[in-house]
Amino acid sequence: MKTKELKIEGMSCGHCIMAVKHQLDKLSNVKVDDVQIGTAKVQVDEAMVTTEQLSRAIENAGYKLLSVN
């Protein structure tokens, strides 16, 4: 597992945080460490989870993934 920081556009409140956390929690091989307005820190099994899957989860919550570091 590797720690990744996701930069997310469009978040502005506690509901946004919960929506993003909920969608990321649905992904197998992803452990959510922390979600704040505009960012999320997750542990990812890079062999099993793609950036596209992370992006889709963020979009399902209603936001846009800007970058993964």
Q: How do residues 26-42 score in pLDDT, each as one tens digit? A: 999 999 999 999 999 99
Cα–Cα distance, 63 to 69 (Å, whole number): 18
Q: What letter does residue 45 receive in the DSSP assignment?
A: -
pLDDT digits (tens, 9 = 90+) for 13-23: 999 999 999 99
Number of domains, the chain:
1
Pairing of strands 39-44, 2-9: antiparallel
Q: Give the range of the structural domain holding residue 58, as residue numbers without chain letter.
A: 2-68
CATH number, residue 22: 3.30.70.100
How far is Cα 37 from Cα 47, in angstroms, rounded to an integer? 28
E strands, the chain, in order = 2-9, 30-36, 39-44, 64-68
Strand order in the sheet with 2-9: 30-36, 39-44, 2-9, 64-68
